[in-house]
């Protein structure tokens, strides 16, 4: 499904609403259990991919992803994002595109 996704953190630090809007991406959200090399184990992983998946992931994958909140206006997926070998808390605010 195509979603508009706004990352809510940068290296674990909360972003302002204006900063979140500036980092908005549109793509397909895929969630599956798979090996997560960054964590060295199986994990529930969320990915935001381009409509044409040949372009790969639009954002770093979200490891240990779980649904934090959901309503008629959207949902929040939270988990761990690995950047430069370090894990940081990350959340995505997602709504239908």
pTM: 0.92
5-9, 35-39, 73-77: the lowest-pLDDT one: 35-39
- Please say whether the beta carbons of 39 and 64 come within 8 A: yes
Name residue 41's beta-bridge partners.
Answer: 36
- What the block records as the tokens of 73 is 């206006």
Interior CA angle at 14 toward 57 and 85, to 5°?
A: 50
Q: Where are the beta strands (DSSP E) in the chain?
A: 2-7, 9-10, 13-14, 24-36, 41-49, 62-71, 74-83, 86-96
pLDDT at 53: 65
- pLDDT tens digits for 39-96? 899 999 999 999 776 778 999 999 999 999 999 999 999 999 999 999 999 999 999 9
Give residue 46's domain range: 2-96
54 burial (CB, 10 Å; 0-12 / 13-18 / 19+) is exposed
- How many domains, the chain? 1
């Amino acid at each position: 499904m195509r979603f508009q996704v706004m990352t809510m953190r940068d290296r674990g630090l909360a972003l302002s609403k204006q900063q979140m809007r500036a980092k908005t991406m549109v793509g397909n959200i895929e969630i599956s259990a798979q090996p997560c090399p960054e964590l060295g184990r199986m994990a529930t992983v969320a990915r935001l991919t381009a409509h044409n998946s040949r372009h790969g992931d639009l954002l770093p994958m979200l490891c240990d992803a779980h649904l934090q909140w959901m309503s008629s206006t959207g949902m929040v997926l939270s988990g761990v994002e690995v950047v430069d070998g370090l894990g940081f808390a990350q959340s995505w605010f997602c709504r239908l595109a």
